[in-house]
Amino acid sequence: MTRYPRDMIGYGAQTPDPMWPNDAKIAVQIVLNYEEGGENNILHGDAASEAFLSEIVGAAAWPGQRHWNMETIYEYGARAGFWRLHRLLKDLPITVFGVATAMARSPDQVAAMQDAPWEIASHGLKWIEYKDAHEETERAHIQRAIRMHTEVTGERPRGFYQGRASINSVRLAAEEGFDYIADSYADDLPYWMEIGARDQLVVPYTLDCNDMRFATPQGFNAGDQFYDYLCATFDALYREGVEGQAKMMSVGLHCRLVGRPGRIEALHKFIDYVRTHDSVWFATRAQIADHWRTHHPHVRWDRPSQMAKADFVAKFGGIYEHSAWVAERAHGMELGPAHDSAIGIGNALARAFRSSATADRLKVLRAHPDLAGKLAAAQRLTQDSTAEQASAGLDALTDEERDTFQKANAAYVAKFGFPFIIAVRDHTKDSILRAFEARLQNSLEEEFATACSQVERIAALRLQAIM
């Protein structure tokens, strides 16, 4: 049994109504990353200097050496950039992603964060790359980050964002019981993950509405580009909110990047632009997490992709008439969260059916009953077939109508060798009889294909009824 862990469907075509406070059309969530003093540096016990997100294009780590230029760029963020941003944002409810070791080296800045209506979430112990870190090392760093964060701020962090994450980061953070985790870029709304026995809320972050693109190839070259991109994102999401599918907009900031004079005006202009709109909710991530937990609590259910084979076949074995083998084969496929819906599981069953030998598909066709035939009269149809035939009134035919159907059935079987199959729920008595006439003109090859497609349609309707 192969299972694909990535969720490629999420909320699907129709996103839930987040029910933002005061019927807001958008939630705007600003993050200030505080990393200065927590970056790679041999003074911090690291093997080399920092090389990420600075003004130095193409910077490389210097093993065993301090990098004066890099260090002073980061120092600018703490010494000047932070205070410039604090003056602009101090009256807004924003979230700080605070690296624990960076905050421990910046008590004045932490005091200013706490004086403002800001939430301080954990940004891990150090601003370093964790992709190659041993699981136990990363776990120990997360635990140390919580302890140090609590020592420095006086409060345990409610949220967590590792940033330069490993494949283990979200699971390890979930083990520590955070109210939310932000290490995801997968959606415009919060969502739940089931991690072991824990239901973990994820409040996704952004790498596009992020000033880090001032320090990346093909990023922002000037403040106006940043401003234009933020406004375009806001406009699109605000429009979706007006149309009934409200979302969340994340904005990512760094003291050493947008804190520069030549960039701060773009952020200032964007905030002013947002304030010209009604029904906007500025919120911290903790506020969004609390709101989501209240209005969209997680409910666990039996997901098809996680069912044992016996349970899967018991639930879906009758979707293809008297052909449980279709469900058995589907269960052996690579299933994942995208298959935990009527469309998803229908696709898996259809693949199993379509990939089977012609003789096997013919057996499925022959497993179907005649319409208004002897089995119906004897009340020996499956529960699904009984309900389907009744939906078109085939259980209440006059003697003349029943005779018409029986003659049509006989002519069809005599020509093609299998019963006439049609998704009855899509039709009336009259349209079924017209379909009989039309399809009797088909060749065997054409009608075999048509009958198979109708089998799949019947399966899709049955799945819609139970999921």
Structure tokens that stand for 200 in this block: 């973990």
Model confidence pLDDT, tens digit, residues 241-273: 999 999 999 999 999 999 999 999 999 999 999
Model confidence pLDDT, tens digit, residues 171-202: 999 999 999 999 999 999 999 999 999 999 99
Residue predicted with more confidence, 128 or 448 = 448
pTM over 0.85: yes
- Does 368 qualify as catalytic in the annotation? yes
- Across-strand partners of 320? none
Model confidence pLDDT, tens digit, residues 27-73: 999 999 999 999 989 899 988 888 788 887 788 889 999 989 888 99
Q: What is the mean pLDDT of the chain?
A: 94
Model confidence pLDDT, tens digit, residues 88-129: 999 999 999 999 999 999 999 999 999 998 999 999 999 989
> Which of the following is catalytic: 67, 331, 339, 368?
368
3-state secondary structure the chain: CEECCCCCCCCCCCCCCCCCHHHCCEEEEEEEEECCCCECCHHHCCCECCCCCCCCCCCCCCECCCCHHHHHHHHHHHHHHHHHHHHHHCCCCCEEEECHHHHHCCHHHHHHHHHCCCEEEECCCCECCCCCCCHHHHHHHHHHHHHHHHHHHCCCCCEECCCCCCCCHHHHHHHCCCCEECCCCCCCCCEEEEECCEEEEECCCCCCCEHHHHHCCCCCCCHHHHHHHHHHHHHHHHHHHHCCCCEEEEEEEECCCCCCHHHHHHHHHHHHHHHCCCCEEECCHHHHHHHHHHHCCCCCCCCHHHCCHHHHHHHHCCCCCCCHHHHHHHHCCEECHHHCCHHHHHHHHHHHHHCCCHHHHHHHHHHCCCCCCHHHHCCCCCHHHHHHHHHCCCCCCCHHHHHHHHHHHHHHHHHHCCCCCCCHHHCCHHHHHHHHHHHCCCCHHHHHHHHHHHHHHHHHHHHHHHC
**pLDDT score for 392:** 66
Residue predicted with more confidence, 57 or 400 = 400
Structure tokens that stand for 263 in this block: 């960039």
Under a CB-based contact definition with an 8 Å cutoff, are residues 256 and 36 in contact? yes
Structure tokens that stand for 313 in this block: 């076949």
Average pLDDT over residues 428-438: 90
Q: How many residues does the chain have?
A: 467
- Across-strand partners of 345? none
How would you class 8 by CB atoms within 10 Å of its CB: exposed for 0-12, middle for 13-18, buried for 19 or more?
exposed
Burial per residue of 71-85, b for 16 or more beta-carbon CB atoms within 10 angstroms, e otherwise: bebbebbbbebbebb
Model confidence pLDDT, tens digit, residues 283-318: 999 999 999 999 999 999 999 999 999 999 999 999
Model confidence pLDDT, tens digit, residues 197-231: 999 999 999 999 999 999 888 889 999 999 999 99
Average pLDDT over residues 315-326: 96
